[in-house]
Amino acid sequence: MMHIIVCMKVTPKSEQVRLDPNTKSIIREGVENEINPADKNALEAALQLKDKHGCKVTVLGMGPPIWEPYMKLAISMGADDAILISDRAFAGADTLATSRTLASAIKKIGEYHLILCGEESSDAGTGHVPPSIAEFLNIPQITFVNYIEILDGRIRARRVLEGAHEVLECTPPVLLSIEYGCNTPRFPDFRRKRWVDKEFKLKVWSIRDLGLDEAEVGLKGSRSIVEELREMKLGERAREKISGTEDEVVAQILNIIRPYIKKK
Amino acid sequence: MGQEYRNVWVFLERRREEIIEPSLEVLGKARELADKYGDKVAGILMGAGNIDKLAETAVSYGADLVYIVQDDVLQDYSTIPYSEALSRIIIMYKPNIILYPATRNGRDLAGRLSAKLNLGLSANTVWLDIVEDGILLAGVPGFGGGIMAVTKCLTKPQMATVRPGAFPKPQPEPSRTGKIERIDVGKLPEPPTKNVEKIFYTVEDISKAEAIVIAGIGIRENIQVVKKLAEKLNWAFGATRPLSDEGLVSRDIFVGATGKTVRPKIALIVGASGAAHFISGVAGAEKIISINIDSEAPIHSYSDYSVVGDAYKIIPKLLEKLEAEIK
């Protein structure tokens, strides 16, 4: 049976995040969290393959213990197993240290055929973690995928580029990063949720379980750092008011835009 | 041994037989950084067959030298042979900085290289500066776009992916001269992925538009009329992220911190409240006119001309007038 590992992150709902202008730090209080939207699409893609081919799906996250409900949500949606790698030593990781840590957890899981990740996270938005994990695992990658098929044990994936797409085939194991919005994630199954609440045990692994050194993970294992947070100057403008009756307003708008109208 | 960790490299991504615009934008910025630090700009060009013409283009856009790696396996972009070739020349030449366009291929490659060579990588940068000792400072928009994290790599070469549209494309100078150098990197691995289909299509790239109409969630029910207005004006059409999240418009046309950066001469913004993550994508517009019914909406402060009014009434009327004017 094919084993699919889905890497998952929990992110703050980006529209709710604010910067404290005095301390220049991010205000996290009162901000709701969610499964990173693209990761949810990756999970749905894995569950669709499970529905069709009977795969085993494991979700893997790296974060604090408060992520437990989100990991369990993935089980209620249909995943078979969930592992949270959680350790204070992992804090402050850049994409390189994050990828290294996730890759060593994947190695510990052992046999796998597909690794699915969301194409990028909604908070950091780098998209660099999936290719870095693939390199640490020394397996091929197909990034920005919006469609997957399994054909005679081969993986076929459609990769979306700027103004192009390509269809690639590969023998597993392979890592795929899944395009945000390419499918509609299912709702959790009610009966499954009851079982999860009662009986499901989330596996939690620490740095020791992974056999990693503190110098390889978290802030210490990072090779890029944030020097400071700056508020971006968004350039306030003249704000010349246009008012009057609707016809007057329309006439004024027309006067402003007329020089820019392009003849076809 | 010469001095190590010199020069600013730019990954020159190809689309068929052309260098893509985001790579040319990055060349322009690289030129500025190199000049500040008294350094050289090198373009990295990979492909099969003769691509010297592209190297000449890179020189005209600011490269002092172009390294060409030529191999049949480099015909089309593919992670494994490209990352292997690039890592070999990085080890040979030890650049100080490597910049990639933050396109899908650019991010695919840079992420792989970061892990391969254990190098720090700043993502999706919109602001770059070079300070003493050739240290690169890279600004990354985060958390909705109102905040910029200034990041620094702790390893050399320092790497960053650069947001398309974040920097203007420089004017080419055909009289510029530069050196073109072919590098033999030895045998490269075949791609483990087989390309069974590749289709190119033209999508209008709104980040290059000279004029644009942008719809916000406030005009959700009348988005078709806004689109029609854009067509009538012969302007590009864009939208804010919520409309794209709801699947009402394509992801390729949403403007904002996680979408496109536009720098048109004029932008007409309809029914957008003006959240920071949207404004950061449109801040480069020369002129902004906005229509929003809520007089308290922040969009008004970011506008040169602002209308507090009902776009559902104003836009159809505007379209009607235009149709009478432009036959």
Question: Which pLDDT does position B250 carry in this prediction?
Answer: 84
What are the residues whose beta carbons fall under 8 Å from the beta carbon of B264, sequence distance 6 or more?
Answer: B209, B210, B211, B212, B236, B285, B286
Task: Name the band, by pLDDT with cuts 50, 70 and 90, for residue B1.
Answer: very low
Query: What number is the average pLDDT over the span B73-97?
Result: 97
**Quick one: B20 and B89 in the same domain?**
yes
Instruction: Classify each residue of B130-144 as buried b or exposed e, where b means 16 or more C-beta atoms within 10 Å of its C-beta.
Output: beeebbbbbbbbbbb
pTM: 0.88
pLDDT tens for residues B30-49? 999 999 999 999 999 999 98
Task: Name the band, by pLDDT with cuts 50, 70 and 90, for residue A111.
Answer: very high
| Smallest Cα distance from A151 to chain B, Å | 13
Taking CA–CA distances from B147, the nearest residue in chain A reads A231
Residues across chain B: 327
Task: Name the band, by pLDDT with cuts 50, 70 and 90, for residue B152.
Answer: very high
B132 touches chain A (CB under 8 A): no
Classify residue A221: in a domain, yes or no: no
Question: Which pLDDT does position A14 carry in this prediction?
Answer: 66
Classify residue B12: in a domain, yes or no: yes
What CATH number does the domain containing A37 carry?
3.40.50.620
User: In this complex, do A126 and B326 lie within 8 Å of one another by their Cβ atoms?
Assistant: no
Q: Which of A83-92, A129-138, B204-213 has the lowest mean pLDDT?
A: B204-213
Tokens coding A38: 């693209």
**Quick one: B140 and B270 in the same domain?**
no
ipTM: 0.90
In contact, A219 and A88? CB cutoff 8 Å: no
- The minimal CB distance from A128 to the residues B114, B145, B280 is found for B114
Query: What number is the average pLDDT over the span A92-119?
Result: 96
Inform me whether the pLDDT recorded for B51 exceeds 80: yes
Question: Which pLDDT does position A82 carry in this prediction?
Answer: 98
User: In this complex, do B111 and A130 lie within 8 Å of one another by their Cβ atoms?
Assistant: yes
A60 or A122: which carries more pLDDT confidence?
A60
Query: What number is the average pLDDT over the span B115-122?
Result: 97
Inform me whether the pLDDT recorded for B112 exceeds 90: yes
Structural domain of A41: 3-216
Chain centroid offset of residue A201 CA = 23
Residue B208 burial (10 A CB sphere; 0-12, 13-18, 19+): middle
Inform me whether the pLDDT recorded for B327 exceeds 90: no
Classify residue B189: in a domain, yes or no: no
Classify residue B1: in a domain, yes or no: no
CA B204/CA B96 separation, integer angstroms: 35
Classify residue A239: in a domain, yes or no: no
Three-class SS of chain B? CCCCCEEEEEECCEECCEECHHHHHHHHHHHHHHHHHCCCEEEEEEECCCCHHHHHHHHHCCCCEEEEEECHHHCCCCHHHHHHHHHHHHHHHCEEEEEEECCHHHHHHHHHHHHHHCCCEEEEECEEEEEHHHEEEEEEEEHHHCEEEEEEECCCCEEEEECCCCCCCCCCCCCCCCEEEECCCCCCCCCCCEEEEEEECCCCCHHHCCEEEEECHHHHHHHHHHHHHHHHHCCEEEECHHHHHCCCCCHHHEECCCCECCCCCEEEEECCCCCHHHHHHHCCCCEEEEEECCCCCHHHHHCCEEEECCHHHHHHHHHHHHHHHCC
**Quick one: B10 and B155 in the same domain?**
yes
Question: Which pLDDT does position A25 carry in this prediction?
Answer: 64
Question: Which pLDDT does position B145 carry in this prediction?
Answer: 60
**What value does the mean pLDDT of chain A take?**
92
Q: What share of chain B in percent tops pLDDT 90? A: 74
Task: Name the band, by pLDDT with cuts 50, 70 and 90, for residue A97.
Answer: very high
User: In this complex, do B118 and A243 lie within 8 Å of one another by their Cβ atoms?
Assistant: no
For residue B155, the chain A residues in CB contact (below 8 A) are 223
Domain boundary among B147, B182, B217: B182
Query: What number is the average pLDDT over the span A213-231?
Result: 91
**Quick one: B178 and B252 in the same domain?**
no
For residue A143, the chain B residues in CB contact (below 8 A) are 79, 104, 107-108
Classify residue A246: in a domain, yes or no: no
| Residue of A25, A102, A223 for testing the chain B interface, max B β-carbons within 10 Å | A223
| Smallest Cα distance from A81 to chain B, Å | 27
Inform me whether the pLDDT recorded for A13 exceeds 90: no
For residue B201, the chain A residues in CB contact (below 8 A) are 163-164
**Quick one: B143 and B223 in the same domain?**
no
Domain boundary among B182, B214, B240: B182
Task: Name the DSSP class of A58.
Answer: E
Q: Which of A27-41, A163-177, A193-207, B109-123 has the lowest mean pLDDT?
A: A27-41
Question: Which pLDDT does position B143 carry in this prediction?
Answer: 59
Classify residue B49: in a domain, yes or no: yes
In contact, A185 and B221? CB cutoff 8 Å: no
**Quick one: B15 and B71 in the same domain?**
yes
Classify residue A258: in a domain, yes or no: no
**Quick one: B255 and B303 in the same domain?**
yes
Question: Which pLDDT does position A24 carry in this prediction?
Answer: 60
What CATH number does the domain containing B276 carry?
3.40.50.1220
User: In this complex, do A223 and B235 lie within 8 Å of one another by their Cβ atoms?
Assistant: no
| Smallest Cα distance from B163 to chain A, Å | 11
Inform me whether the pLDDT recorded for B2 exceeds 50: no
Structural domain of B221: 206-325
Which of A30, A141, A115, A221 shows the shortest CA–CA distance to B191? Answer: A141
Question: Which pLDDT does position A162 carry in this prediction?
Answer: 87
- The minimal CB distance from B144 to the residues A17, A127, A131 is found for A17
Question: Which pLDDT does position A12 carry in this prediction?
Answer: 85
**Quick one: B26 and B113 in the same domain?**
yes
Handedness of CA B315, B321, B325, B327 (dihedral sign): positive
Classify residue A68: in a domain, yes or no: yes
Inform me whether the pLDDT recorded for A221 exceeds 60: yes
Classify residue B67: in a domain, yes or no: yes
B211 touches chain A (CB under 8 A): yes
Task: Name the band, by pLDDT with cuts 50, 70 and 90, for residue A4.
Answer: very high
**Quick one: B169 and B244 in the same domain?**
no
Q: How far is CA B176 from CA A198, B33, B62, B170, B173, in A?
A: 71, 18, 8, 13, 6
Question: Which pLDDT does position B260 carry in this prediction?
Answer: 87
Task: Name the band, by pLDDT with cuts 50, 70 and 90, for residue B57.
Answer: very high
Classify residue B187: in a domain, yes or no: no
**Quick one: B178 and B238 in the same domain?**
no
User: In this complex, do B147 and A231 lie within 8 Å of one another by their Cβ atoms?
Assistant: yes
Classify residue B200: in a domain, yes or no: no
Q: Tell me how many domains chain A contains.
A: 1
What CATH number does the domain containing B33 carry?
3.40.50.620
- The minimal CB distance from A224 to the residues B151, B279, B318 is found for B151
Classify residue B32: in a domain, yes or no: yes
- Vertex A256: Cα angle to A254 and A259 (nearest 5): 90
User: In this complex, do B301 and A239 lie within 8 Å of one another by their Cβ atoms?
Assistant: yes
Residues of B (154-183) whose Cβ lies below 8 Å from A = 154-155, 161
* Omega cis (within 30) before B192: no
Q: What share of chain A in percent tops pLDDT 90? A: 77
Taking CA–CA distances from A231, the nearest residue in chain B reads B147
User: In this complex, do A124 and B277 lie within 8 Å of one another by their Cβ atoms?
Assistant: no
**Quick one: B17 and B154 in the same domain?**
yes
**What value does the mean pLDDT of chain B take?**
92
CA A166/CA A177 separation, integer angstroms: 14
User: In this complex, do A181 and B276 lie within 8 Å of one another by their Cβ atoms?
Assistant: no
Q: Tell me how many domains chain B contains.
A: 2
Inform me whether the pLDDT recorded for B3 exceeds 60: no
A30 torsion bin: left (phi>0), alpha (psi -120 to 50), beta (else): left
Count CB neighbours of A22 within 10 A: 6
